[in-house]
Amino acid sequence: MVEGFSTIAFLPAIAVATAVGGLTAGLFATFLAASLARLLFLGPPIFEVPDARIAGSLLFFVLVSAATGNVIVILNEAIERVAGEAKRERTLIESAPNGVVVVGRTGKIVAVNASAEKLFSYSREELLGQGVEMLVPQKSSTAHRHMRENYQRSPETRPMGAGRDLRARRKDGTEFPVEIGLNPIEWGKEPAVLATVTDITERKLHEEKQQTLAMELEHRVGNFFALILAIVRRTLTKGRTVSEAEEILTQRVRSLAKVHAIAAEATFKRISMDRLLAAAIAGFKDQVTYTGVDLPLNASAAQAFAFVVNELIGNALKHGALSTPTGRVSIDKRLEHSDEKDWIVFEWHESGGPPVTAASRKGFGSFIIEEWPKQFNGKASVSFNPKGLVYQLELPLASVTDVEGVANA
C-alpha cells in the first residue's frame, strides 16, 4: 500500500489551480501539495532524506497530480475551442448582411440575426420560440408548412422555391419578394435549418422596369417603321416626278430623324415643345417666332407634333410665307380650360407671303396636320385667310403630357 495515500485530498486544490491558472499554476500547486504532504502525512523530520517508502509515495502523488493537471489543461483547451467555434458561428450569423433565421426541428425559430429583425420589423424576443410560418403570407402558410416538413425529412443545401416567386410577411402584414437559401445545420445538438433571406424588392423593380422598357422599345420601333412605310407610300404617289418625290421624302425622313434624336436624348420621356420648335425652324429664325408656354410632351405626342410643324414649314416654303424673304410666321402656345378639360392650344399664323388657296386634293401633309390630332382626342382647323394661312391645333393636356399640375404652370 502506498504510504500517505491521504495526500489525494490535495488533488481538488491542484485541479482548481490548473483550471484557473493553467499548467504553470497547477505545477506550483503540486509542489506546495507535495511539501505539505511530506510534513503532514509522511512523517517528520522534513529536512531528513526520505526513505524509499516515503520517496515512492511522493513520486506517485506528483505523477497523479501532473496527469490530473494535463487532463484538465486538455479539457480546458477543448472547451475553449468548442466555445470559440460556437462564438465564431454566432458572430458570422449576427454580422451577415442578409437576414438569417434558424428554424428547429418542430418549426420554431431558435435564432435570428440583427438583419432579420430589421427585415421583418420584429424584435428578437418577438421571434424566438415562434413558428416560422409567422413570416410567411397567410395564404401560403399551409403550403409552406408541408414543404418545410418535407425538406426536414431529407435536408440539403439548396435555394428555396426555385423558379417560383417567394414572398415574406413583415410584422405590419405587408409582403415583399424574397430569395431564400436553405442549409441543414446542427443547433444545440439538434437538427435545424439555417435560412438566409434576401429582400429582392429593388431587383424586382429593376427587372419590371427593364421589361417595361423592352416592351415600350418594341412598340416604338414598330410604330417607327409603320410611320416610315406610311411616309414612303404617301410620298410616292402618281403625278409626282422622281425628283419631287425624292425631295419630299428626304425632307420628311430628315424631320423624323431630328425628332428621333431629340426623343432619344430625352430617353423617350418628356420632350420640350420649344426644343422641337427650335430644331424645326433652325434655318428660319429671322422669319419665324414663337411665344407662350413651353410644355413637356410624351414621346408619341412629341413625334406627331414635330411632324405637324415640319409639314407646316414645308407648305410655307412652297406656297406660303416662307417662300418669300418678306414673309413671317408667328406661333403662339397657350393653355385653355373648356369642356371641363385643360387644353394645349397651338396657333400658326402666316403673313407677308403670296395669297394662299385651299389645295385641290389632300395628301399626306394634309393628313398629318388635320387628321393626326384625332389620335389624341384633339382637333385642328386650317383657315386660308387673305393675309396668310392660319392653323390652330387643340390637344387635351392629359393625352399628350404625363406631368401633373402642368396646367398651372
Largest CA distance in the chain: 146
Q: Which pLDDT score is estimated for 344?
A: 92
Q: Give yes or no for a contact between 376 and 302, defined as CB atoms under 8 angstroms apart.
A: no
Distance CA 275, CA 259 (A): 10
Residues 263 and 345 both lie in one domain? yes
User: In which residue ranges of the chain is pLDDT below 70?
Assistant: 1-71, 73, 76-92, 159-164, 213, 216-217, 219-228, 230-231, 234-235, 237-238, 252, 255-256, 259-260, 262-269, 283, 359-365, 402-409
Q: Which pLDDT score is estimated for 311?
A: 80
Q: Which pLDDT score is estimated for 394?
A: 92
Q: Domain boundary at 94, 109, 136, which? A: 94
Q: Which pLDDT score is estimated for 40?
A: 57
Q: Domain boundary at 166, 183, 199, which? A: 199
SS3 344: strand
Q: Give yes or no for a contact between 50 and 43, defined as CB atoms under 8 angstroms apart.
A: no
Cell of 201: 424588392
DSSP secondary structure code for residue 369 in this structure: I
Q: Which pLDDT score is estimated for 148?
A: 86
Q: Give yes or no for a contact between 22 and 75, defined as CB atoms under 8 angstroms apart.
A: no
Q: Which pLDDT score is estimated for 407?
A: 44
The tens digit of pLDDT for each residue in 208-265 reads 878 776 775 675 566 566 656 766 776 676 677 888 778 777 876 776 677 667 666 6
Q: Which pLDDT score is estimated for 108?
A: 93
Q: Which pLDDT score is estimated for 256?
A: 66
CB-based contacts of 18, cutoff 8 Å, min separation 6: 25, 26, 29, 68, 69, 72, 73
SS3 228: helix
Q: Is 211 exposed, middle or buried (0-12, 13-18, 19+ CB in 10 A)?
A: exposed
Q: Which pLDDT score is estimated for 408?
A: 44
How many domains is the chain built from? 3
Residues 220 and 182 both lie in one domain? no
Q: Are strands 288-292 and 328-338 parallel, antiparallel or unpaired?
A: parallel
Residues 53 and 172 both lie in one domain? no
Residues 80 and 103 both lie in one domain? no
> The domain containing residue 272 runs over which residues?
204-408
Q: Domain boundary at 94, 125, 147, which? A: 94
Q: Which pLDDT score is estimated for 349?
A: 94
Residues 328 and 251 both lie in one domain? yes
Strand partners, 388: 385
Enter the pTM of the model.
0.44
Q: Which pLDDT score is estimated for 157?
A: 74
CATH number of the domain residue 143 falls in = 3.30.450.20
Residues 130 and 70 both lie in one domain? no
